[in-house]
Amino acid sequence: MTLNFTGKEKAMTIIYVKTVIHRNEKRIKLIFDYDAGLIREVRKIPGCRWSQTMCCWHIPFRMDYLTYLVEQLGNFEIVYKEPPLQLRGGLKASDIERKKINVIYNKREGLYYIKIPFYKKDEIKKLEGAWWHPGAKEWSVYANQENRHQLKEIFKQENYILSFVEDEADIPKKTISKKKPIPELVEKKFEDEMIIRNKSHRTIATYKSLVNQFLNHFQGSKIKMLPAEKIKEYILERLNIDHYSRSYQNQLINALKRYYEYVHNREFEDFDLPRPKKRQRLPNIISREDIQRMLDVTRNMKHKTLISILYGCGLRLSEVISLKMEEIDFNMKVMYVTGKGDKQRMIPIGNNLGKQIKTYQKSYLPKVYLFNGQNSLKYSGKSIQSIVQNKALEVGIKKKVTPHTLRHSYATHLLEDGVDLRVIQELLGHASSKTTEIYTYVSRKNLMNIRNPLDNLRI
């Protein structure tokens, strides 16, 4: 269709217009060659936006859009046309071909899952078993012949084509590091020995990384017979130049000791390296009132469930990231958590948390892990840290609040409620009771019973 509003087509600017569904909203695409003056006028149209994916400007749909455009762009002589199959300036044939909608068939649940344009919701509601999942932003309906036929009918007259496919778990995308990788020099024997000794995946990865940096630093030297003084100089250089922490120093010494012990059968009695004294710090906790306020301001169901589990079960960040749906038993009201050293423990979830997790699952439809990321099976640790920190700031908590702060608060509040220290040790997955005993120093219940000596004096 060509609409010539002025009768001077050769001298006119051509705007190709097309009705599209963009982000579940009906819009009008405006495609034209670059013209700074025209762009300024187009941007003045209410609701006009630029689409990076479509490479064009687009405006809200209205039935009289051609007349409306003439009114809005009256200062320009314009011919309005429907786009051809190929158009110079980035438009492809796929822009006007029928768009594909995948209907995911979940055989285990007996459901079809489908993401549809928003204006089709009233028709989808009529299907048997129709249910809206706001977190996943998709509908589910019973997977039967009648619904399959109805879905085809709904989109029969539309610019869409349905494709029924089997459900598959998300495949995590490989992340591409921008840094130039350090050549891998660690012998496989080192990793094998750590696996045999049941070291955790995280410990193995850390030790391998530290030893690999060490081997690259002394590349060309006889590593097995390297003098202890040279090794000591290397460690001190890392501390002085890179300003690493006490914890890093201990990890580096442990990694090198294990490497020489496992690979070169060399003991470290002659290795005179002073261990840094570990600072004794009290755990950072927040009050029950603060946690309640954080939950109250959290509207996003996924974020609320994350905070609830971190505090309600005292999980480490790595544990909540790796938590699978199959590890939650709603009948027994417990979850099975695999912690450090591949040790599994059982944690009660109670009534409130159990209901919260069920509601979240129904909305967000996680597949393998309870919390899925946008582009991977697992949720990002940095994302979880940001969620907790932002909610703490939102309610006015001045101190730094991390996921581990919620774990510390969980243990302290259990102690204040009279739970035995040995039970708390098991719930937290501590190997030593000494680690758990530190919570006795921050229990408000014990501290509140102490009378300040100044109370006996007049001031």
Which residues belong to the active site?
A: 316, 340, 404, 407, 430, 439
d(CA 112, CA 162): 12
d(CA 372, CA 356): 17
CA 276 to chain centre: 35
325's tokens: 């749906």
Q: What are phi and psi of 266, to 5 degrees?
A: -115, 125
Total residue length of the chain: 459
169-208 exposure pattern, b = at least 16 Cβ within 10 A, e = fewer: eeeeeeeeeeeeeeeeebeeebbebbeeeebbeebeebbb
Neighbours of 313 (CB within 10 A): 23
Strands 78-81 and 2-4: antiparallel
Q: Which residue has the tokens 């749906």?
A: 325
Neighbours of 16 (CB within 10 A): 20
Strands 78-81 and 13-22: parallel
Q: Which residue has the tokens 């501290």?
A: 447
